[in-house]
Amino acid sequence: MERIAVIGLGAMGAPIAHRLLGQGCQVTGWNRSPRRAAALREAGGAVGVSPADAVRGAEAVLVMVTGPQALLAVTEGEHGIAAGIDPGAVVVQMSTVSPSSLTRLAQALPAGTGLLDAPVLGSVAEAASGALRILAGGPPELVERCLPLLTRLGSPLRVGELGAGTAAKLVANNALFGVLGVLGESLALGGALGLSWEVLHEVLGVTPLAEQAARRRPVIEADDYPARFALALARKDADLVADAVGDAGLTLGLTAASRDWLAAAEGAGRADQDYTAVLAAILHAAGKEPRR
Ligand SMILES: NC(=O)c1ccc[n+]([C@@H]2O[C@H](COP(=O)([O-])OP(=O)(O)OC[C@H]3O[C@@H](n4cnc5c(N)ncnc54)[C@H](OP(=O)(O)O)[C@@H]3O)[C@@H](O)[C@H]2O)c1
C-alpha cells in the first residue's frame, strides 16, 4: 500500500503523515483547520479540500482525529470519507473512540470497504519515529494485508476482531490513568504525613509504582507540563472508559476516581497541559505538598 490518505493532521496525525511521506508513500492529508495541513504540502504531500476529496484514489485511509464526534464528522455526509473512498480500499481507524462509534463507522462505509480498528499506544515522538504500539482489531487476512503499512508506523499487536483494538486501548489508558492517580495520591499522602520528597521517592522506588514514580519525578519537580497528550484528550478517554464500564454493567471505583482527577485537573485550567499535569492537580488539591 503506497497511496495513503491521512485524515486529521493534529499532534499525532501530522507526524504519521510525514513519516509515511518520508518512507516514499504518496500521502494526501486533510485537516479541518487548513493551517495544520500546510506543513504536509510543503514537505511534498498533497492536501484534499475535504475528507471525501482526500481519500479518492487512496489504497488505505488512516483516521486520527479527536474522538467519536470528530470521527462521525469526517466519515459521514457528502464530504465524508464514505462518500469518496475507492471500492476495496481500507480504512484504518487509529483515533481513540468508543466501541459504538466504531460500529457506526462500519455501517457508514460502502460495502466492500475494509475496516481495521487500530488505536495506538505511544505519543508524538513515537509517531514520528515509527515506534507506536498499534492495537489492531479486524479480520486476520485484513490485518495481514495491512501489516506492511502498519509496520512503517510501529509494532502492530493483533488483539482480536473489529472492536478489539478500541477495547484494548480503553483498557490500556484506564491502567495508565489509574496508576497516575495512585501515584499522585501516594505523593499527597506522603506530604501530609510529613515525609520528605527524597524519602518518598526512596519508598515508592521499592513499590510497584517505582517505574512511574521515577519517570514522572522530573516533570513534577520542574512543574512544567508541555502537552504531548493533552489532558483534555485524556479526560475524553476517561469518559469513554466510564461509558464502557456503564455499558458493561460494571461499577469500578478506581476507574471512576481516576476519571474524576482528570476532570478536576481540567476544571483547574490544565486542559491544554500534558495529561501528567493531573499529578500537580492532585498535589495542589491536597494542599500539603511533600517537603523538597
Ligand atoms: N497525543 C498523544 O500522545 C496520543 C497518544 C495516543 C493516542 N492519541 C489519540 O489520538 C487521537 C488524536 O490525538 P492528537 O493528540 O493528535 O489530538 P489533536 O492534536 O487535538 O488533533 C485532533 C485532530 O482531530 C481533528 N478534529 C477534531 N474535531 C474534529 C471535527 N469535528 N471534525 C474534523 N476534525 C476534527 C482536529 O482538527 P483541527 O486541527 O481542526 O482541530 C485534529 O486534526 C485522539 O483520539 C487521541 O486520544 C493521542
**13 Cα–ligand 1 center, Å:** 7
Which CATH superfamily groups domain 3-162?
A: NAD(P)-binding Rossmann-like Domain (3.40.50.720)
Look up residue 76 and give its amino acid. Answer: E
Delimit the domains of the chain by residue range.
3-162, 167-286
Q: Measured from the CA of 123, which atom of ligand 1 is nearest? A: 3
Protein residue whose Cα sits closest to atom 23 of ligand 1: 65
Of the pLDDT bands very low, low, confident and very high (cuts 50, 70, 90), residue 85 is very high
Gap between the Cα atoms of 50 and 132, Å rounded: 27
Q: Which residues contact 222 (CB under 8 A, 6 or more apart)?
A: none
For residue 269, what is the DSSP state?
Answer: I
pLDDT band at residue 1 under the 50/70/90 scheme: confident
Q: Tell how far the Cα of 165 is from the centroid of ligand 1, in angstroms.
A: 18
Q: Is the CB of 31 under 6 A from ligand 1?
A: yes
Short-list 62, 114, 67, CA closest to 87: 114
Q: CA dist 84 to 5, 39, 66, 109, 220, Å?
A: 11, 24, 21, 10, 47
CATH for 167-286 is: 1.10.1040.10
> 69 CB less than 6 Å from ligand 1?
yes
- Give me ligand 1 centre to Cα 275, in Å: 14
Does the pLDDT at position 287 exceed 90? no
pLDDT average, residue stretch 223-237: 96
Ligand 1 atom having least distance to the Cα of 227? 1
